Every structure is written in structure tokens, then in C-alpha cells.
A and B are shown apart, each in its own frame.
Chain A
Amino acid sequence: MSTITTYYKFENPTNLSKSQLWLIATSAMLTQLNKEFHDTLLPHHIYGTEALLEDSKQCLLRDWDTKNIADLSDTIKYLHTKKTFEPVQNSWEFLSESEFDKTKYFGNNMMELRNLTDMTRNYQYDLNNSDFAWHYGRCAWVIRHAFYNGFITEEETWNLLKENGNLIKKSFDSWESFGLSYLVGAQFWKRDNYNEVTMRETKNNITFLLSNKNSPWLNVSWNDYE
């Protein structure tokens, strides 16, 4: 008999409010990457297993240095304040096209700067809030997993998601601008190896989130959270 191997349908099985679904949808990028549930607070809904919990715990510890509520607080603070692409934009955004053209000839010892100036050129004056979504979106996912690991209660989880959600709502005006900012953050993260292949999966995930009927972003309107 077949079993569910991948999240697929957006069904809201635990009858969450639109506002709660919106908060969960802010974690959608990592949720999609990890093939988790978009419509329940628990990342694996009722299908969690010991192995999945162990993976989650290992991931929080390894990637986020988070093993309890105190660490979580540090991680959230870091993600809410960290500036990555913004200083680069501020340093190079004013260049003319002819100057940007010259940056293509930076040598391999300046590959990172070459890639970053290419990003700056691509998004010149089009990103109002830089790559902040990369931090805020991952923050929402970390909060959900902290709940899954029992570091925080459900009430604390919703409060933290709201705090994070307020920042998102203030910074962006649509799922599209949120998704774009997240993609730019992923690109910045991979700035040493800036190519199509490394971005492919993230691009596919965002495309799914912006276009598929089972995406949380198509089921929850941007304005469902005030």
C-alpha cells in the first residue's frame, strides 16, 4: 500500500486561522526545500518519527547552534539583525553601466566581488529591503523546529512567529517581493560559486511557491496577516 512520501496538498488539517497559516507560510522556502508541511505548525504534522526528530535536533545544533530556548533567542536575534547583501549594495549601487561592465573583468582573486557587483547591478534600486527575507524566512523555520524539538511551547512559538512576521510584513509588500529577497539572500550565500546549477533548486522552490495551487502563498493572501 502506498504511503505519503512527500508533502503535497494544502489542506489545513488542524484548522489554523488564516493569520496562523500566514505565519507558517513565512517559513515556506525551507519548508519546501525539506519537503515538510506548509499547513501545520509541526513541520511533519502527525507524520513525525524518531528519526525525523533526531534529524531536526541535529540540524538545529549543527547549523544554528541551537539546543535550547536561550540559544534560540540568540539565533533569532542574529537573524533579525544580520546584514549581508545590504552593505554591498550601499557600496556599489551607484555605479554606471560602463563601470559595472568593467567589474566583469575582475580576476579570479576577486571572484567574490565580481559576483557581488553583478548581483548589485541586477537588482540596482529594485530591492527595497535587500536580502532580509533570507534571514526572516529561515528564522520562521527555526522557530517551528524549536517547537518540534520541545524547546518552546506552542504559545511561545506563535508569539515568536508573530514577532518575526511583523518584521516581514513591515519590510515587504507581497509574497513575490518576500520570495525575491529570499532568493537574493540565497545567491549572496553562494556568492563564491555563483552559477545556475547552485541556484536551481532554490529557484524551483520559489517558482513552486509562487505558482502552484498547493503552495501556501497561493492559499494564504499576503493581506491575511495584519
Chain B
Amino acid sequence: MTDQQFLGVNTVSDKTEIKNALINKISDLDFEIDIEKIFNYIHCSQRLIKNTDSIATDDEIVITDEYREIIKDFNAEDYGTPEGLIRYFEILYDNPATRFNKFLWKAVLDSLKAFRGNELENYLQPAADFLNAKPFLKSDVLFLIDDTFPFGFFFPKTKNEENKEFWQQYGFVHHLLSAGNLELDLHADVINTGQFSGSQLDDIYKRLMNSSNYYRNNLLPQAFNALSDGLPAEIKPLLIWQRELNILYKAVFVEKVENITDIFQNTLHSALTAFPDDEQLLYIRAKFFSHFYEPEQFKEKIIETLKLIPNHAKCLFLLGKCYLQLESPRAALIIFENLKKINPLNMQYVTSAAIASRKYIDFCISEHDPKDNHKQYYVNIISTLIEKEMFDEVRVFADEAPKQDGDIRALLLYSNDVETFLVTGEKNKEELIEALSLTKDKEIIRKIKEHYLHDLLYFSEIQSEKDFIFEYYRENPNDSMANYQMGMFYFADNNHEKAYDFLLKAKEINPDKISNYYNLARVTSILGIHSEALEYANIYLLYNKYNVIVNEIYCDCTYSLQQYRNAHNGAKWLLSICRNNEFDPKYFFYFTTSLSYYMDKIETEHHNAAYVNDMLELYDKYPKPDSFWTNDNGSRSMYWAANLCYKTGNYDKGLDYLQCILENVKEYNWPLLEKCKFQLLPECLHGLQQYEKLIHLLEMPTLEVLQKQPDDPSVRLSCFYISYAYSVQGNDEKKMQWALSCIKCYLQMDNPPVDWLANNLLVNFQACLEKNMKSYLVAFGTIYLDFIKTPQPGHVWLTHHFANFYLEEGNQYEALKYHKMCIEFGWMFPDEWKELIDNSQDFINAFNLSENLK
């Protein structure tokens, strides 16, 4: 039977018909005896209503022809001024039919931007004044206005004594533009049903705004009066009645204000006179009754209400509470359990269901008569008690149940084993197999098998149960646990693709089972599907943030996805939860590396050195596992720790880390050693200005590398800093020797930094000129001209000075060659080095003249 047939509905898209059908179905039912049946109808109606919601189309307002003519073009002269715009704003605002039509406002603002885009500053003050006077616009329109106008020019960046008056006048507008009108968004359309004029709307919105402010300051009388004073009952909107009653409810029943119960009753009466069918008003009335009536009388009252609004969850809850007071725990339990399904996030239903469940079991134990009960009664109740881990109670029923019956015997063996497992963590598999042999009941068999396979700790255990798992799955192919166990079997068997398929199906069947997410995170992480693994890990960590494995997956995934901030924070958390034997070098690696990469994404002036220092203190504090130096991740983590020190100028500490790495890392890890020794070490020593130490520590090892492989680019930085160190010491010969080595090493790189090299070559060339170091000068000059292929202004300068150098050397022809080159480069950069170009031209002219004379 379909839901439609079950409820007797003709039109599935008509909510009123569905509601009336439900009312008809339950009208003659007993709210205690038939409560399960009533919930069947309620669930059915909710499914149908849910479908209705999906059928309904989005009725968002669009610009209809009716409004199209309202839209004005801002090249039309009347509207091309701030005054014109405000007049137009007022037309839209004052008409309730257009005030909340975002598209009309958007059309106006778009047109304004198109035709007056460069004059928008002139509109700021009028727009702000308009909003001060007419603030009741929804957030979407306010944000459009804020996006259109450059209000940054209007609102001062700071608040101080000097602009106090300004902020008093425009602070509200500033708040509206930045935060929107959130509360108005919630009730604007509910109030604006066409019944009120623009000014009446403003009055109502203002009342609501003032009332909310009073309420938030716990001024309940003022909050109530702001709504009720001077607003006639005949025109008062439903929402105002509801708000008034909420305020009064708080005053009477929460704040226990005396002598206002009459006001509450009168207001409720007037509200229900105006809106007799409103669900919220009926509920408030029922809740009011619950405080004054005895349970038996209240039951009549609430059932009366429920016959009008049968699917009102809060009213059903009141009935459940009433049944608890009346010692009818069965009906109460059914109500709360069903409400838990309807709204699993209302914790009142959870606590009430727990109370009802306890009462119901006690009731069953004390009230039931063994003679009246048949076997199925015992099967049901013992199964429920096992599920709730109430084993003392199982024993009570076991004493009276027909123990010779195979199903009962199986259940009791199963119960015994579940209890033992809870206390000791051990199962008696022989006894469970015996239990299975005693029963033919499919549900009992399923439960026993589920328990049998529950919590197998090791993959070897899972693999050894292959036949059992496959049979369990064959018997229950659509059961979440059976699919889960199949997934785990394939996981244990290293077939991760199949494991993923089964675990995914298990999750789809039962999305609430958390172990599905745990294992899906593991499998997808192994399969390298990082984004999906991260989703599952995130879900699992919300449930248990202390799980080391899932936290590790979180770090793996965020790092792989280059979410370095998350990876660093994940590793920080992971390290904080590790027991002493759980620290893994990888966690240290994520901790420092991710932080370093994250800092690379942030501009240097925003680097927080204090935070980095705190993190490095944490890094030092955590115990390093034995595998720290045998595992690349450990040494790499320390390299990145040193790198963080370098980035934040903490060179001493960086040096400590580097020395620690150099002492502990084995030779085979050459790339890391290379980075530490020939890059970061000289950089830190340079930072500390320890040039003697720099030369002492680096010159020989660098020479050794260069002897093995001339111009090895891996030592380029080392050469650079050695050169710099010698320059500080005033040893020009050594400085130039290492500078030349540095350049040559750079030239061997796959992608050498051309601009830096060009500049460096020119600087060195100039230094050689000044110091008259001829051999280096020729070397730097030649490399520059050979290597820097794209002409730059530097070519003009260098060729000119090269020419002069040769002239001084007495080589006129070489000088001529370079002066000519200077002229050629000078054509490309006529505005650079004009004087040098003129000089070169003079030289060429003079040279040509003398040649002619010859």
C-alpha cells in the first residue's frame, strides 16, 4: 500500500488535504492504546508533506511586467542626481509591493553604476540619510547598496572623540550595511501580506525591533508593551500575538513574575479568537494548561489539541510527559521513541525516552503475569533488554520464560556472552555457535552473528572468519553490518577497492554507524582519495577527536591537499594526544613542514614569530621516538624547524637544529644533508654574522664537493656566503674567487635565476673595476654577455666599461668592439646611460677619424 493510499489522500501536493486526512484517520483512535498506529499515520503524513516540499517550486520574486516600467534608467535626467536617486529609493521603499523585491533594487543600482559609476561618492551622504530614515530593508538589499557605494570614504576607519557625533548619527546605518537586518529577514515577508501600507509596516517592524531589544536586556514588561500598546487586536498580525505570548510565557513560568497570569490568559484568548487554528497558539495554550491541570485532566486537554494538530511534535511531547505522570510508560515510551526519529537533535526526547524506558521495564517486571505471556513476548523483551545492556532484567524474565524452547535458549546464551564481553572483552565462540544451532529465528541468528563478529581486533582474526562473514552476508545482503564485515574482510585482505565498495554500501544503508566513517577514512586514504578521506576523517573526529589513526589520516590528507594550516593544526593536536609510545616521526614532520609552507603563503610582515617560537618549544618538548633519526621524517621535521627559525630570524636556534641534524643523519641521506649544510647553515651563520665560523665550517666541505664535481649547483649558496664572508673580512681575492664559483654553480642549475645573476655579475664586475682585478673582471664581464641573452640596460653600462678597460690595457680594437656594442645596446635603451653612449660614440668617431687620417 502506498502512503497516499494508507492515508487516503487524493492530491499528493496539497498539504491541507494531507493534514485533514491525518486528522480524519486519527480522530477515532485512542491516544494510549492506538498510539503506535497514530504514529504510523503521522510518519506517513510527514513523508507525503516532505514530497510536497520537493514538488513545490521556488517562488522567489522576479521582475514581472507589472513592475518592469518602474525601473528607470540613470541616463534619464530626472534620476541622474543624488536627490533623484533618493526619490526613486523612496518610491520603492514606500510601496509594500516593491520594498522587498531585490531585483528592482538591483536594477536601479546596476543602472546607477553603469551611468554614474564615477560619481558615486556624491551619493554617500544622501544614501546614508535615506537608510537612517527608512531602515526596514532586508539584508540582501542592504548588501546590494553596500556593494554599490564606496562607503569606505564615508565612514571613518576609527571611532574617537572627534567623530563621536558622526557615529551617533550614522552608527546604526554602518551596522545595517555591514551586518544586514537579520531579524527583519525572518519576519519581513510574514508581516507584509498586502494588508498594511508602507508606514503601517514601518510601525510594526519598529515595534518588533524595539521589543527584541528590550527582551534581550531582560526588560520583559517593555518588550511586551512595545508590541501591544496601541495596536488594535483586529489588525494585529499573528506573529505579534505569538511574540507577545512568548514574552508573557517567560515572565510567568520562567521568571515567575506574579499577577500576570490573567494578562497571559486574556492575550491567549484574544489571539485564539483572531487565529483559532494556529498551531503555535494551540501549543502555547496546551503548555499553559500543563502547569495548572492535574495529569488526568491535562490528558483530555492535550488529546483535544492533538486531534486538531496531530503531528505537532511539542504537543506530542507534552502528552508523553503526561503519560509518564500517569504511570503509563508504554505509551510514553512509544511517543518519545517516535519523537526521537522525527527530531533526533532534540535532546529532551532522548532523556524522556530513557526515563520512560526504565519505567516501562520496571512496569513489565512488576505487573506482568507469566501465565498471560507467550514465547514471542519473552523473545521480544529479552532482545530489547540485551540491546539496552540490562542483563539483571534479562535474568528476571529468563526465570519465567520457557527455557526448553530453542529460541529462548539461544537468546539466553547470547545474552550471557554479550554481558561477559562487556566486562572482560572476551567472547565464547563455542557457546555462540551452540546458540546458532539451537534457533531457526532469522532475527536471533542475525543478532548472534553480528555479536560474534563484533569488535574483531586484528586483521588475522577477520581473515580467519572468512566463511562465517560470507555466510552472514549471503543471509543479509542489505544489512549494514553484513556489508561492513565484508568491507573489513577485504580490507584485511588488502583488496582496498572492494573494501571501499562494501564499506560505502554499509554507510549508505546506515549513515549513523560511526565505524563506517573510521574505516572509510582509512581505506580512501590508502587509495589516495584524499578529499574523500578527509570528509570521513572529519566526521569521525567530531565523534572522537582523540583517535590517533584518524588524526594521522587528517594530517596526511590536509598536507596532500596543501591545506597547510589545517595540517599544522592537526599535527599540533595529534602530538598533544599521543601517549609516550605513540609519537611518530611523521607527526613531527607535518607539524613543522606544514607551518613553514603555510608561512610561505603569508606575507612576511604578517609572520608571527612569537607563535613560531611557541610551536618550536612544543616541538622540542615532545619526546622523540627511537626511529626519529632512522626515519627521514624525523630529520626532515628538524630541517623544517630550522627553516622556521631562519624565517623568523631565530638563527641561533636554527643553528642548533642544523648541528643536531648534521650529527645524527647518516651519509646516505645526501639531499637533506646538502640542504642543511650548504644552504640553511650558511644562511643562519650569515644571519648571525659569524663569518669566521662560516668560513671554517664551510670552505673545506664546499671545496671537496667542487673537486668531486666542478660547478656543482648544490653548493651555490655556500659559495655565495663564503664569498660574502671573505668580503666582510676584506679578502678581495678570496671574495672574487668564491663569487666566481658561485656564479658558475648557478649557471649549472636547470632554471637559474637570470635577473639575480645579471645583477650579481654587474656588481662583481664593478667591484673588479674599482679594485682593478683584471682576470675576474674579464671573467664576470664575459659570463654576463654570454649568459644574459636578453639585452638589458646593464649591457650598455658593462660594454662601455669593458671598452674602457681594454683601452687602458692598450687594446684599441677590443675597445672599439665593445664601444660599438655599447652603441647597439644604447639604441634599445636610449633613455639609459646617455652619457656613456655619447662617450662611446665620441670614441668611435675619434677612432674612425684617426683611421681615416691614417
Contacts and interface: CB of A to CB of B under 8 A. Distances in A.
Interface of A: 2-6, 8, 51, 54-55, 58, 62, 90-91, 93-99, 102-103, 118-119, 122-126, 128, 176, 179-180, 183-184, 187, 190, 193-201, 203, 206-213, 218
A107 to B, nearest CB: 11
What 10 pairs across the A-B complex have the smallest Cβ distances? A2-B424, A210-B354, A96-B242, A183-B347, A5-B425, A99-B186, A198-B542, A211-B358, A122-B346, A207-B354
Contacts of B514: 197, 200-201
Given A187-B345, A211-B357, A99 B390 contact: no
Contacts of B276: none
A190 B355 contact: no
B351 interface: yes
A7 B517 CA distance: 27
B280 interface: yes
A94 B357 contact: no
B174 interface: no
Contacts of B579: 51, 54-55, 58
B280 A196 contact: no
Nearest to B349: A122
B170 interface: no
Nearest to B191: A98
A62 B577 contact: yes
B223 interface: yes
Main secondary structure of the interface of A (DSSP, over half): helix
B319 to A, nearest CB: 15
B250 A94 contact: yes
A23 B388 CA distance: 26
Nearest to B245: A96
B79 interface: no
Nearest to A182: B347
A5 B357 CA distance: 27
A115 to B, nearest CB: 9
A129 to B, nearest CB: 11
Contacts of A95: 186, 243, 246
Contacts of A179: 351
Contacts of B223: 94
B229 interface: no
Interface string B384-424: 00001110110000000000000000000000000010111
Contacts of A200: 512, 514, 543
Contacts of A55: 579
Contacts of B347: 122-123, 180, 183-184, 187, 199, 203, 206
A51 B218 CA distance: 50
B425 A213 contact: no
Interface in B345-369: 345-348, 350-355, 357-358, 361
B543 A5 contact: no
Nearest to B240: A96
Contacts of A93: 246, 250
Interface residues on B, range: 35 or more
Given A98-B190, A187-B345, A213-B390, A8 B350 contact: no
A84 B753 CA distance: 55
Given A54-B579, A184-B347, A176 B355 contact: yes
A8 B423 contact: yes
B350 A203 contact: yes
A201 B547 CA distance: 15
Given A200-B514, A210-B358, 19 more contacts: A8-B423, A51-B579, A54-B579, A55-B579, A94-B247, A97-B279, A98-B187, A98-B242, A102-B186, A118-B345, A125-B254, A126-B348, A193-B539, A194-B345, A196-B512, A197-B542, A210-B355, A211-B388, A212-B390
B580 interface: yes
Given A93-B246, A97-B280, A122-B348, A212 B216 contact: no
B216 A90 contact: yes
Contacts of B352: 176
A161 B579 CA distance: 29
B212 interface: yes
B480 to A, nearest CB: 14
B239 A199 contact: no
A124 B579 CA distance: 43
A84 B21 CA distance: 43
B215 interface: yes
11 contacts: A2-B423, A2-B426, A8-B422, A94-B212, A94-B215, A97-B280, A98-B190, A198-B539, A201-B543, A211-B388, A218-B358
B122 interface: no
Nearest to B420: A2
Nearest to A102: B186
Given A62-B576, A183-B347, A197-B539, A99 B239 contact: yes
